[in-house]
Amino acid sequence: MVEQKKCQVLVIGAGPGGYVAAIRAGQLGLSTIIIEGEKAGGTCLIRGCIPSKAMIHAAHKMHDLAKMATEGGHMGISIPGPAELNMSGLVAWKDGIVGRLNKGVENLLNKAGAELINGWANFIDAKTCKVATESGDILIQAENVILANGSIPTELPFMKYGGNVISSRHALDLQEIPDNLVVVGGGYIGLELGIAFAHLGSNVTVLEAMDTVLPIFDRELRRPVELNLKRLGIKVLTGVFANGVDKDGNALYAPKDDQEKVQTIEADKILVTVGRRPNNQGWGLAEMGVKSNEHGFVIVDERCATNMRGVYCIGDLAERGAMLAHNASSQGEMVAEVIAGEIRAWDPVAVPAIVFTEPEIVEVGLSPEAAKAAGHPVITGKFPLAANGRALTMEAEKTGGFIRVVAREDDHRILGVQAVGSHVSELSGEFTLAIEMGALLEDIAGTIHAHPTMTESFHEAVLATLGHAIHIT
């Protein structure tokens, strides 16, 4: 006999959108069930953002130790021989972090009163689904449904995952460092992992169809990253298409304007990172009657409500907002409050985008070009990290990084902030808060920033926009 359950809120997917929605719904006194097929935490926590940042951190440690093993050492520190990498040990350390966070999410759900069911949901209609669990099927009927199914890596039809061809998820579980790694796609995922593996000792080649890597950023922001790719010996081939895999598992590619000129790159692993697509198949979206756009994203309004009453969609599956974990979390919290009767809408002024390459890139709000295109009278200011004392002590200045501020010329309202350099991701909150609150240049200029910190660079960039930076001429 099939077990039956009823609830006020049913959440599908325990990623950063789903588990936040379920916790908030539980806090608001709503009977809540959340379904997750794998581990609570979703792609970001279990197999994406968190494990990749752990590996990037370990790779930087390895790279720093390599400097200290060279003749003369570094910072006055030397070690007698080269550091050795135990890849299985690195993966175990990374998995330990993921495991702690996974248990933390489960505990938070439990304390909020949300019931976590491990299984795979398949919808019969808009508010009824059957969940296949290890102990049998459960039929759940809900008053409200929140779809937080997320996204999955885009697979190339001529380079299917398997053998030498891997996704970012597989890359994070490799037990050996590949001598030769080919990365297909020069976006943020490909470059983050490509740089990490280069630090760990791989010979890395990046294949990018566009004329530049990280094409969504302007040249000034990209330039420090491009220079570091060269310093690390990463070979970047732009304007080329991946063309498949030969019988020996090597990568094939050809110039996009001459597809007959196929060439081969030796590869122990081929990491395909050409984007992600909504996870909209195999669980009954069509049976729900929920409408999607031509790209497969679920159509939602400003409350993340779908065309079906009482059915909401958040995160990577929804058409509203970029495919970012913090977007999903923000939407999840809002939807739970909407269901509880609060007047809410998802309309952020600014959402930070961060690339965890070396150096890191942060972009919040409008770039100078976008601000001008939107009709704003624009002034900008820039401050180099090389003029910041704290950056020097952390060697953050070596990447040629800077902070750039974009503001309206007439009323000095801050429209955007861009930064590139080591550790600049930790400044993203201040950038975002300034734009979200409608801060003027004078608001930041009049705020005392602690010394010595990297945040002083933002203060100085604002002063530069006003025409009177203190620590640059």
pLDDT, tens only, 39-71:
898 888 887 888 898 989 988 888 888 888 876
Report the 10 Å Cβ neighbour count for 470: 11
pLDDT band at 397 (very low <50, low <70, confident <90, very high): low
All CATH 3.50.50.60 domain ranges in the chain, comma separated: 3-50+90-152+277-339, 165-274
The model's pTM is 0.93
pLDDT at 66: 82
**Which is catalytic among the residues 451, 459, 468, 471?**
451
Of 3.30.360.10, 1.10.10.10, 3.50.50.60, 2.60.40.1220, which CATH number belongs to 165-274?
A: 3.50.50.60
Tokens 């992992």 belong to residue? 193
Is the pLDDT confidence value at 15 over 70? yes
Question: Helix, strand, coil proportions of the chain in percent (round to 5)?
Answer: 35, 25, 40
Q: What are phi and psi of 363, to 5 degrees?
A: -135, 125
Report the 10 Å Cβ neighbour count for 225: 23
* Superfamily of 3-50+90-152+277-339 according to CATH: FAD/NAD(P)-binding domain (3.50.50.60)
- Mind listing the pLDDT tens digit for each residue in 171-222? 999 999 999 999 999 999 999 999 999 999 999 999 999 999 999 999 999 9
DSSP state at residue 45: I
Q: Using DSSP bridges, classify how beta strands 3-12 and 32-36 pair: parallel, antiparallel or unpaired.
A: parallel
All CATH 3.30.390.30 domain ranges in the chain, comma separated: 353-466
Instruction: State yes or no: is 451 an active-site residue.
Output: yes
Percent of the chain exceeding pLDDT 90 equals 84
Amino acid, res. 279: N
Cα–Cα dist 437/418, whole Å: 17
Rounded to an integer, the average pLDDT of 241-252 is 94
Question: 353-466: which CATH architecture?
Answer: 2-Layer Sandwich (3.30)
- Mind listing the pLDDT tens digit for each residue in 408-443? 999 999 999 999 999 999 999 999 999 999 999 999
- Both tokens of 364, joined, read 């919040």
